[in-house]
A and B are shown apart, each in its own frame.
Chain A
Amino acid sequence: MNRAVRDYLVFLQRCGRIAFVGDWRYYAWMGALTVLCLIGLNAYAKQLVHGLITTGMSDQVSWGVYIANFTFLVGVAAAAVMMVIPVYIYDNAELHDLVIFGELLAVAAILMCLAFVTVDLGRPDRFWHLIPGIGQLNFPASMLSWDVIVLNGYLLLNVHICGYLLYCRYQDKKPSKWFYIPFVFVAIGWAVSIHTVTAFLYVGLGGRPFWNSSIVGPRFLASAFTAGPAMIILALQIIRHITAYHITDKALLTLRGIVQVSMLINVFLLVNEVFKEFYSGNLHVASSKYLYLGLDGYHALVPWIWTAIVFNLVAMFLLVLPLSRSLKWLNLTCVLCITGIWIEKGMGLVIPGFIPTPLGQIVEYRPSLNETLICVGIWAFGLLAYTIFLRMSVPILQGRLSKANEARPLPAAAGGPAAASARP
């Protein structure tokens, strides 16, 4: 027993130490991200002192970029499951190890989600009120309470699955099916649920007709399964380039297929939404009017939403054409997908729900400098976390960081074509 604990601690220690070892590009990247994190931390300190008045939010628009980013990132986290399904349900061996990279992205995304929600709280010192048993978690009535439970549960699930698989690989042991397969299947359902619960946060508000619509949930999932795998496509290519880890183009094209179908569904749902809002001409469409056309002379969001729509349509066409099989075009398409959907979910969903207010007042929103710095800081933190996860997991998967070579020095970041052994 003690031996097992000691071995695990050694494993953790080596993983921890390898995060601080790398080449000059690694140090430069991590250094830059740390700088951004600290700028964000400084901005948050100011927010703690002065309150949320340092943001651009107001009683009229009471949620802003923090919740917008939170919503987008829950989708990214849920989309990691999109890699799990082909591997475990359709037995696609090609993607097998890549599932770990997807799930690590999910872990980083959930950490960012938790950070975004925390910085949005007016009294973060009272976070313990949310802990069931100690606090007063309003489960099952409040959808936010569901979100607290499912997000933390999803985090634990993914940390367990990745941690277990990586530790087994480290020990060069075959992982026992019972320790991860059931969790994987639970994670598939759980991933859909985290984003559905987040959608229901909005759908359940009868006082906001822009959100109180049954299409919000499906749209959330469709856009998540577009943006998430698109991010993974880009991440995998970066991993391939930096670490010479072996990733086939076929894996990338499988993911492209997922993005393709999801984007088609996403655009179809958009058409549905626009038709429903504007065809019958009834009232309660003020928010949609504000978003797409401007309302009473206020039109701050109009250029954003049309940019997002153009990006999504262009991405959709590129995805459908065989042109996007070429990596150059695929990368452009992925960037268009991610940006378009980020705008759509953030500015296109969260903000128009508040404009006009339930009493008909129009007050617009623009994030303040402080708010933007905090967002940048959290994104940098997420990238930092993901980089560290990759820095630990790639050598383990390549076999260069394993129990067998515990006596040896830590492997440096393998770079370029000179690194010979890069077999997973």
Chain B
Amino acid sequence: MSFPEPHVNPDAAAPGVDMSRRSFLRTSAVLASGLAAIAASLSPLRELDDYTSLDRFMQKYYKELTPEEMEKVLQRIAADVERQYGIRPHVRDLKPMNGVEFVYALNLTRCIGCRKCVHACVQENNQSRTPELQYIRVLRMPNGSLDIEKAEHNYAPESVPEKGHFYMPVQCQQCRNPPCVKVCPVHATWQETDGITVIDYDWCIGCRYCEAACPYWARRFNFTKPSIPKERLNPNMAYLGNRPRRQGVMEKCHFCIQRTRAGRYPACLEVCPAGARKFGNVLDPNSEVSYILRTKRVFIQLKEELGTAPRFFYYFDV
């Protein structure tokens, strides 16, 4: 089989130049229709509204930003939030305090499984409501076992607590030896000196390797554009904390970094009606968490055998 065209000069310097008009038209028709199909296939991109501006695209890694660059970034974030929600937020880049290492202690005798912590966290940290992202997952366990496979996630009785069960809220354990930090291919998540494992939402590429690596299922991914109702926006924001995230990035509990680095208790603790949650600086011998670690005898660290050394200590009083 030779070329479709009937008259081809085998000695021509550039093969194929002597095409018949019919085949030229045919080839161009195929090319033109092909290009049209390619262009049309990309037509859904017309609906793309999450444009990345040039400075957003080129934004440097958090640890490389100078204070002036960070200030510009914070202004840009504040402007973006104002444009989207009509509220001008207060966005800060809070640094870790010296001599502080945060630890969370959770009293399993007291937790009644009311899930107020879950929703206080959602409110404080500007999490998406549809689809729903919740950093805290409360597990209902049967008395006598810490086997996670016996956990019930969707309990919905008329009232809690239920007889024969105890409740265990699980969130990011801010491990001392975090598997998520190890596996992130771009260093988008790292542990700060005060123990909080943070995420630079503008650096994350959304590969979800950290989500696969976390033994506590603590990390959440934005499968689509998060939706936060305007009336419930929390305008007190931090760069590494509760500023609104974008589609395609990871997020997780950061110990309410915008509160705790300003010296305040996290939202989950403030709302807990039973006072089951205890938080503070373990390096301060007078803090309540130091007292708990000194005096309570049995601590449960989830999946201790994995060597993650979590900063979350569960204990029973009675």
Direct contact of A and B (CB under 8 A): yes
Chain A residues engaging chain B, CB cutoff 8 angstroms: 17, 21, 23, 34-35, 38-39, 41-42, 45-46, 48-53, 57-60, 62-63, 117, 120-127, 129-130, 135-138, 141-145, 148, 201, 204-208, 283, 286, 353-354, 356-361, 407-410, 412-413, 415
Q: Does the CB pair A205–B205 fall under 8 Å?
A: no
Q: With a 10 A CB-CB cut-off, give which of A38, A49, A127, A356 has the most chain B CB atoms.
A: A49
Q: Which of A206, A361, A412, A413 contacts B179 (CB 8 A)?
A: A206
Q: Does the CB pair B3–A206 fall under 8 Å?
A: no
Contacts of A357 in B (CB 8 A): 217
Q: Does the CB pair A407–B11 fall under 8 Å?
A: yes
**Interface presence of B120 (CB below 8 A):** no
A194 to chain B minimum Cβ distance, whole angstroms, is 16
Q: Which of B148, B170, B208, B223 contacts A53 (CB 8 A)?
A: B223
Contacts of B307 in A (CB 8 A): 206
Question: Which of chain B's residues 25-66 have a Cβ closer than 8 Å to chain A?
Answer: 34, 37-38, 40-45, 47-48, 52, 57, 61
A60's nearest neighbour on chain B, judged by CB, is: B217
B49's nearest neighbour on chain A, judged by CB, is: A49
Q: Which of B11, B38, B215, B249 contacts A122 (CB 8 A)?
A: B249
Assuming A145-B185, A359-B216, what are 11 further A-B pairs, CB within 8 angstroms? A41-B41, A57-B223, A63-B212, A121-B205, A122-B221, A122-B248, A204-B213, A205-B212, A358-B303, A409-B2, A410-B16
State whether A353 and B148 are in contact (beta carbons under 8 Å apart), knowing that A49-B48, A142-B182 are contacts in the complex: no
Q: Which of A51, A137, A407, A415 contacts B13 (CB 8 A)?
A: A407
Q: Which of B42, B44, B151, B205 contacts A360 (CB 8 A)?
A: B151
State whether A144 and B185 are in contact (beta carbons under 8 Å apart), knowing that A41-B41, A206-B179 are contacts in the complex: yes
Q: Does the CB pair A148–B148 fall under 8 Å?
A: no
B57's nearest neighbour on chain A, judged by CB, is: A125
Contacts of A46 in B (CB 8 A): 44
**Interface presence of B115 (CB below 8 A):** no
Contacts of B179 in A (CB 8 A): 205-207
A13's nearest neighbour on chain B, judged by CB, is: B14
A212's nearest neighbour on chain B, judged by CB, is: B306
A75 to chain B minimum Cβ distance, whole angstroms, is 19
A418's nearest neighbour on chain B, judged by CB, is: B1
Q: Does the CB pair B153–A141 fall under 8 Å?
A: no
B210-244: CB near A (< 8 Å → 1, else 0) gives: 01111111011111110000000000000000000
8 cross-chain CB contacts under 8 A: A62-B212, A130-B205, A136-B187, A137-B185, A205-B179, A205-B183, A283-B147, A409-B12
Contacts of A208 in B (CB 8 A): 212-213, 215
CA distance A412 to B211 in the complex (A): 51
Q: Which of A38, A123, A407 contacts B38 (CB 8 A)?
A: A38
Contacts of A283 in B (CB 8 A): 147, 149
Q: Which of B15, B149, B249 contacts A286 (CB 8 A)?
A: B149
B208's nearest neighbour on chain A, judged by CB, is: A62
Q: Does the CB pair B186–A136 fall under 8 Å?
A: yes
Chain B residues engaging chain A, CB cutoff 8 angstroms: 1-3, 8, 10-13, 15-16, 34, 37-38, 40-45, 47-48, 52, 57, 61, 131, 137, 139, 147-151, 153, 170, 179, 182-188, 203-209, 211-217, 219-225, 246-250, 303, 306-308
State whether A41 and B38 are in contact (beta carbons under 8 Å apart), knowing that A129-B203, A142-B184, A408-B10 are contacts in the complex: yes
CA distance A407 to B17 in the complex (A): 12
A45's nearest neighbour on chain B, judged by CB, is: B44
Q: Which of B139, B149, B220, B223 contacts A356 (CB 8 A)?
A: B149
Q: With a 10 A CB-CB cut-off, give which of A124, A126, A204 has the most chain B CB atoms.
A: A126
CA distance A323 to B219 in the complex (A): 52
Contacts of A51 in B (CB 8 A): 222-225, 247-248
A201's nearest neighbour on chain B, judged by CB, is: B209
CA distance A49 to B40 in the complex (A): 15
B42 to chain A minimum Cβ distance, whole angstroms, is 5
Q: Does the CB pair B207–A53 fall under 8 Å?
A: no
Q: Which of A42, A53, A145, A201 contacts B42 (CB 8 A)?
A: A42
CA distance A49 to B45 in the complex (A): 6
State whether A121 and B187 are in contact (beta carbons under 8 Å apart), knowing that A45-B43, A206-B179, A409-B3 are contacts in the complex: no
A148's nearest neighbour on chain B, judged by CB, is: B185
Q: Which of A45, A144, A356, A361 contacts B183 (CB 8 A)?
A: A144
Q: With a 10 A CB-CB cut-off, give which of B34, B203, B215 has the most chain A CB atoms.
A: B215
Contacts of B2 in A (CB 8 A): 409, 412
B111 to chain A minimum Cβ distance, whole angstroms, is 16
B147's nearest neighbour on chain A, judged by CB, is: A283
Contacts of A21 in B (CB 8 A): 3
Q: Does the CB pair A52–B248 fall under 8 Å?
A: yes
Contacts of A137 in B (CB 8 A): 185-186
CA distance A125 to B74 in the complex (A): 21
B128 to chain A minimum Cβ distance, whole angstroms, is 11
Q: Does the CB pair A127–B212 fall under 8 Å?
A: no
CA distance A268 to B101 in the complex (A): 50
CA distance A273 to B299 in the complex (A): 34
CA distance A204 to B184 in the complex (A): 13
B121 to chain A minimum Cβ distance, whole angstroms, is 16
CA distance A359 to B147 in the complex (A): 9
B35 to chain A minimum Cβ distance, whole angstroms, is 11
Q: Does the CB pair A358–B214 fall under 8 Å?
A: yes
B55 to chain A minimum Cβ distance, whole angstroms, is 13
Q: Does the CB pair B186–A360 fall under 8 Å?
A: no
Contacts of A413 in B (CB 8 A): 1
Q: Does the CB pair A62–B221 fall under 8 Å?
A: yes
CA distance A2 to B61 in the complex (A): 43
Q: Which of B8, B44, B213, B223 contacts A207 (CB 8 A)?
A: B213
Contacts of B212 in A (CB 8 A): 62-63, 205, 208, 353-354
Q: Does the CB pair B208–A359 fall under 8 Å?
A: no
State whether A358 and B148 are in contact (beta carbons under 8 Å apart), knowing that A41-B42, A206-B215, A206-B306 are contacts in the complex: yes
Q: Does the CB pair A409–B217 fall under 8 Å?
A: no
CA distance A39 to B61 in the complex (A): 36
A80 to chain B minimum Cβ distance, whole angstroms, is 25
State whether A127 and B205 are in contact (beta carbons under 8 Å apart), knowing that A142-B185, A207-B213, A360-B150 are contacts in the complex: yes
Q: Does the CB pair B223–A121 fall under 8 Å?
A: no
CA distance A208 to B38 in the complex (A): 41
Q: Which of B43, B153, B204 contacts A359 (CB 8 A)?
A: B153
B246's nearest neighbour on chain A, judged by CB, is: A123
A69 to chain B minimum Cβ distance, whole angstroms, is 15
State whether A359 and B183 are in contact (beta carbons under 8 Å apart), knowing that A41-B38, A41-B42, A45-B42 are contacts in the complex: no
Q: Does the CB pair A359–B213 fall under 8 Å?
A: no
B34's nearest neighbour on chain A, judged by CB, is: A34
Q: Does the CB pair B61–A121 fall under 8 Å?
A: no
Q: Does the CB pair A130–B216 fall under 8 Å?
A: no
